[in-house]
Structure 1
Amino acid sequence: MTKKLYYDSAYLNEWSTIISGTVEREDGIYVTLAETAFYPHGGGQPCDTGYIGELPVLDVVLEDNEVLHKVAQLPDRAEVNCRLDWSRRFDHMQQHSGQHLLSAVFRDLYQALTLSFHLGSDYATIDIGVPELSAAQMAEAEQEVNRQIYLNRSITSYFVTSEEMARLPLVKLPKVTEDIRIVEIEGVEHNACGGTHVASTGAVGMIKLLRSEKQKGNTRITFKCGSRALDEFNDNVRILGQLSAKFNTGKDEIIDRIEKWEHEQKLVQTELASLKEQNDIYLARELLSALEPGSGLITHISDTRALKDLQSLAAKLTALTDLPVLLLSAAENKAVLAHSGAADLSCGAFFKAHLGEYQGKGGGSDKLAQAGFPVWQSAVAFYDFAQKQF
């Protein structure tokens, strides 16, 4: 059985050992080591990565109390030097220890027990047993958990028997009855846990709570610890600096400037919509006045209008005439066919019957249909064909 060095010290990241076994499976090759510091998946914490000799460790799993290390090929020698990806390991230590501390704070402040923990590559989450948290409660919890970090309380781990465990103030009893490992944060909590942790709360660095959201009657807290929290802060400062430069103002005035800009944009959009409306009415009347006697269809190709603008123009035209309307957008390679309801025509059925011949896709109702084409040539070919049908 592999000796699990990560239980002796989470800070060990280089060691020499021998390969004690190999397992070849459909999904790859796995090796076992006489001693390993590679932590396997478990308890919400991802596995370590690194190298066995010169071979990258692709995955680490625990099966029947044996640690299996996935590699791309078998090592060429039995004696190997191993090393962890230390930045990944220490990041996991910060996040996991931070989670223990954060869970203890939510328990003490709001009697909210942690139901689950997930450590992802970008952020970590805990689900706690309360239906919701206010912004003030989130701020209070963040202030308190960081105060506990500043106190630099020691974090130790050790194994106990069932009898010894019974005398400890555990928040939650573990499922195992043997090899019970306790992680203790001095003066804060005792927790049954098999993960890797920093030596003191100070090494967590800091904790930033990002958001809370409802999750199946409970509350999910998303957070970052240590270097992740610092990176989050630096990203926010960078973005804030870019916004300050863009709006030529200090950070405290950015919200006011954005609100002013949004108001100005709404006025511009309102004015633009009014001008479009007037332009559609003018163009509709112009198309009708230019219609030749005996025409059975109103047609128009627009160089600039998008689909929604074609639909708006079609609505103006069908309100003024009972003739069908066929419009084409050169800007988007899209077509619209519409009528007021007086014509003996189903626009949707017409498109369905003929679009496939021109690589077009679309559909609609009896009175309005729209379609898009992959290239302009196809759009024009369909437009020319449709004109000849009326």
Structure 2
Amino acid sequence: MSSKKLYYNSAYVTEWQTDIHQMLEREDGYYVILKETAFYPHGGGQPCDVGYINGIPVLDVISEEDEVLHKLTRLPNESKVACQIDWNRRFDHMQQHSGQHLLSAVCRDLYQAITVSFHLGTDYATIDVQLPELTLNQLVSIENEANKQIYLNSSIVSYFITQEEVAHLKLVKQPKVTDHIRIVEIKGLEHNACGGTHVSSTGEIGMIKLLKAEKQKGNTRIYFLCGYRALKEFNENQRILGTLSSKFNTGKDEIIDRIEKWENEQKQLQVEIVALKERNNAYAAQELLSSSDGKLIASVFEDKTLKDLQSLAVKLASESNTPVLLATVVENKVILANNSNTSLSCGAFFKEYVGTYNGKGGGSDIIAQAGFQTWEEAFAFYEFTIGQVNENLRAEI
């Protein structure tokens, strides 16, 4: 005898008492089958319910051959148990699933876009509809019509019919089962073969907010939120808008203009910074070149970025006949550059020695770079390189 499924009669049952029909101990955990259950198992794109059986947490609910199995952290000691559904999770799923039925009906009626799949995730829900794309105006029309149907507060009912009775209903998709067929009906709008939990009227959906649409294997995937999820999203957006308004000292209607103005200012500042860095590099290069005596050009900088070091090293190497070794304290990086007038291969040198100092890096014959976990290791490698390269230069003279 299979369990009596209370969620088919009413999705609003949250507490009840019943008997355990069977206890199971499997490799992946403990399961019980109840004489009566309101715990909805995974199915139809809807996640399962969770809650408690005699105070023991219900971890998962699955369906096997028309039986509902409840996975528990341990088996109960009693055969008669008190059960409790996590109502917040249940009602959230009811709002999203009923919202999906309504949204799918609106997509069908407005644009003949038939829903081919539904997914109810933790953060958002999606439907895939049989249209290659939907324009922004079409999405606005869908959202407006869906919310209009919510305000009409049409009743949502469910009932079972036979295979013969299916032929008299206008179903978008034929049911997979041939008997005990459950229909969820939004009065005046649609009939759908569905085993999920739903609210009792469209008004309980609260609202439907479309987030975005994207192409998905020839179809269009619509991301949406219903009810409390939509309210939570609205509140979060208001918080972000409030923070931006405060930072830019302006009303929300002017935020976009202020951000665009700020972006233009930043672009201009970046142009000026690049020009100043190039001028600074030119001065630094001139100073280092003038102090060079034909040996390795080497210098440590406190706050230059790796990009700045690369630019300076390339400039120095192109204007001298000796290798260039530069290091930056702020990033623990070392760069070695060469203009190919010596036999030194920067990349080969780094590959051979950088690991000894817990560094990682490499490069080509004419330039190589390495990063270190600490400045002490970077500086030790820097000093070692000075000694090795100068010794090689003396050997070539």
- TM-score, normalised to structure 2, is 0.96
CA distance in 1, matches of 2:227, 2:166: 31
Identity value in percent? 65
DSSP-derived class of the 2:261 partner? helix
Q: String of CA shifts for 1:120-168, please: whole Å, max 9, x gaps.
A: 1111011111111111111111000000101111111111111011111
Corresponding residue of 1:184: 185
Corresponding residue of 1:167: 168
Deviation at 1:343, TM superposition (A): 2.6
DSSP-derived class of the 1:253 partner? helix
CA distance in 2, matches of 1:256, 1:144: 31
Corresponding residue of 1:58: 59
CA distance in 2, matches of 1:113, 1:367: 61
CA distance in 2, matches of 1:10, 1:252: 43
- Unaligned runs of 5+ residues in structure 1 are none
Superposition map of 1:263-282 within 5 A: 263-282=264-283
Deviation at 1:227, TM superposition (A): 0.3
Moved more, 92-101 or 232-241: 232-241
Corresponding residue of 2:199: 198
The aligned amino acid for 1:205 is G
Q: String of CA shifts for 1:149-196, please: whole Å, max 9, x gaps.
A: 011111111111110111110001111112211111111111111100
The ranges of structure 1 where at least 4 consecutive aligned residues each deviate by more than 6 angstroms after the TM superposition are none
The aligned amino acid for 2:349 is F
Matched, 1:387 2:389: no
Corresponding residue of 1:33: 34
Q: String of CA shifts for 1:347-366, please: whole Å, max 9, x gaps.
A: 11111111111110011112
Superposition map of 1:26-175 within 5 A: 26-175=27-176
Superposition map of 1:193-272 within 5 A: 193-272=194-273
Matched, 1:331 2:348: no
DSSP-derived class of the 1:236 partner? helix
Matched, 1:352 2:351: yes
* Structural RMSD (CA): 0.9
CA distance in 1, matches of 2:112, 2:326: 65
Corresponding residue of 1:304: 303
Contact 2:130 2:219 in 1 (8 A): yes
Q: String of CA shifts for 1:243-301, please: whole Å, max 9, x gaps.
A: 1111111111111111111111111111111100000011011001011x341x11111
DSSP-derived class of the 1:389 partner? helix
CA distance in 2, matches of 1:365, 1:183: 68
CA distance in 1, matches of 2:238, 2:260: 20
- Unaligned runs of 5+ residues in structure 2 are 390-397
Deviation at 1:340, TM superposition (A): 2.1
Deviation at 1:220, TM superposition (A): 0.8
Number of residue pairs matched?
388
- TM-score, normalised to structure 1, is 0.98
Deviation at 1:318, TM superposition (A): 1.6
